[in-house]
Structure 1
Amino acid sequence: MGAARAGNGSDGIATNLPEADDYCLTARDIRCVVLDIEGTTTPIPFVTDVLFPYARSNVRAYLVDTYRTRQTMDDVAFLRAQIDKDLADGVPSAVLVPPPSAPEEEVIDALVANVEAMIDADRKLPALKQLQGRIWRLGFDGGEIQGVVYDDVAEALARWHGTGTVRSYIYSSGSREAQRLIFGNTEAHGDLRRYLSAFFDTSVGGKREPRSYYEIWQTLGVDSPSQILFLTDVYQEATAARDAGFEVLISIRPGNAPLPEDHGFQTITSFAQISV
């Protein structure tokens, strides 16, 4: 790990970080690389300024068009359970949803109000993420949305895949459907899913909980969690993965939130710094 450096990062954020030295996968016997999306493989504004607004703008039309389908009925039941929990927990933005026997318009009005509030608060809720993924699929399928992935990420995924010994995975709070859409329909690199072995979402657990990374390790089947490298821009996620025994790098990208001083993690500004 490099020595700490103080000063201003390229985006003007004050830093006191370990040097972003090249990181060698081979030297650390890494067999699997697990990647966060937002702020790591993909610019944060793509999520906040493209995906979230698209879901917010289209949730009502989507529910109206699909309300009586089995899939949407299941999604609504999932949302109802979360909203009931929010009401019990006293979440101020939660709105009571009328029973299924109520007029469809009233139910949809309440659902939309809840979903809009959840999106505005950037809540990491499985029920919300599942519905967002359904809506985003319409945008991707219709060509209104294309995924954005940093050039160095696409190049690294191809390079690691070419080794035949390093497998790549995604672990995001977004649904697995949303993950496949982003990487399967990138604007500059086409379909990158051929380089990815699997997708994990919060069904394995929250990203700030060490147990989630233990579950991922058990699924990947390598001998030791130290054979897994996790990349993220979030300090709490990095800490949870390190506590589970993973190797960890923190991604420094323009627009990412500042890290705590003396955080103790090696950082990178490009996947080109990760060599095999």
Structure 2
Amino acid sequence: MASLTMPAGVTTVLLDIEGTTTPITFVKEILFPYIEDNVKEYLQNHWEEKECQEDVQLLRLQAEKDRELNGFVPIPVNEAEVQKIIQGVVDNVNWQISLDRKTTALKQLQGHMWRAAYASGQIKGEVYDDVVPALRKWKEAGIKLYIFSSGSVEAQKLLFGYSIEGDLLELFQGHFDTTVGPKVESESYRKIADHIGCSTENILFLTDITTEAKAAEEAGVNVAVVMRPGNAALTDEEKASNPLITSFMQITCMHKIN
């Protein structure tokens, strides 16, 4: 696959994570199973802590909203025995995960569990071999680097802060999650450009999802679609209508930002 020259006006590279900097398998086979395998032990070990109680209360409030949903799993009230409440929380969390839900309550608990796992060394964030050398090269050229992922900003910082390549957070100027808007809506990319303080045409967005690339492109952002092992296969039409790379090292930066 041919190399791609970074457009001359680009001052910022915006990066997706899953399938772009990091294997999809890391999220699907390590991060999410860790929650299911360890949620009960985590709750038992941290039950008396304020943060854990806040997580449980948020999950309980979400459960109240979910009462009408098919297969709803309730969380017992405070008068119940602690172990019954914990089991109820475990069952509710696993039910939400089985439906691939992304509620704030679930994300908050997951974030706190992952933080503990990263800090203890049980989990290390995975990045493809080509990512760090390319990011360092672009940063040396004066390019600003940002992340835009559906995972929370906290989860992003954990992945890169406790990566297999060490602490990579110093490479990034900032992080965005879907609180700025959905990744498949053009307005999200305009908001990011405003926040960074540049024009959308000054941004190069790298993602493995063509609908995200299309939304960014419609906002005036430069895009390239990343093809990695294990990513969803692209149609011939998607391949024809997007710049494609299989490695960050294929992107050549010909200009230096002062």
Q: Same fold (TM over 0.5)?
A: yes
> Does 2:125 correspond to 1:147?
yes
Alpha-carbon distance, 1:182 to partner:
1.2
Alpha-carbon distance, 1:271 to partner:
0.3
Structure 1 portions without partners, runs of 5+: 1-19
Name the counterpart of 1:248. 223
Please tell me the root mean square deviation across aligned C-alpha atoms, in Å. 2.0
Q: Secondary structure at the match of 1:262?
A: helix
Mapping for residues 120-269 of structure 1, pairs under 5 Å? 120-164=98-142, 166-187=143-164, 189-222=165-198, 224-263=199-238, 264-269=241-246
Name the counterpart of 2:256. none
Using the TM superposition, name which of 264-273 and 60-69 deviates more: 60-69
Alpha-carbon distance, 1:241 to partner:
1.9
Name the counterpart of 1:58. 38
Alpha-carbon distance, 1:64 to partner:
2.1
Question: Deviations 1:135-176 (Å, cap 9, x if unpaired)?
Answer: 112221111111110111111111111112x11111112222
Aligned partners of 2:119 and 2:162 also within 8 Å? no
Name the counterpart of 1:7. none
Matched residue type, 1:129 = K
Aligned partners of 2:73 and 2:95 also within 8 Å? no
Percent identity between matched residues is 45
Structure 2 portions without partners, runs of 5+: 254-258
TM-score (norm 1): 0.83
CA–CA separation in structure 2 for the residues paired with 1:245 and 1:121? 35
CA–CA separation in structure 2 for the residues paired with 1:205 and 1:160? 27
CA–CA separation in structure 1 for the residues paired with 2:58 and 2:187? 24
Alpha-carbon distance, 1:208 to partner:
2.3
Mapping for residues 46-125 of structure 1, pairs under 5 Å? 46-88=26-68, 90=69, 92-125=70-103
Mapping for residues 18-37 of structure 1, pairs under 5 Å? 20-25=1-6, 27-37=7-17
Using the TM superposition, name which of 35-44 and 228-237 deviates more: 228-237
Aligned partners of 1:97 and 1:111 also within 8 Å? yes
Aligned partners of 2:226 and 2:244 also within 8 Å? yes
Matched residue type, 1:215 = K
Equivalent position to 2:22, from 37, 42, 45: 42
CA–CA separation in structure 2 for the residues paired with 1:210 and 1:85? 30
Change (3 A) 1:210 1:101: farther
> Does 2:248 correspond to 1:271?
yes
Q: Secondary structure at the match of 2:163?
A: coil
Aligned partners of 1:139 and 1:145 also within 8 Å? yes
CA–CA separation in structure 2 for the residues paired with 1:240 and 1:98? 43
Alpha-carbon distance, 1:121 to partner:
3.6
TM-score (norm 2): 0.88
Aligned partners of 1:115 and 1:128 also within 8 Å? yes
Q: Secondary structure at the match of 1:33?
A: strand
Question: Deviations 1:12-65 (Å, cap 9, x if unpaired)?
Answer: xxxxxxxx532222x341111111111110111111111111121111122222
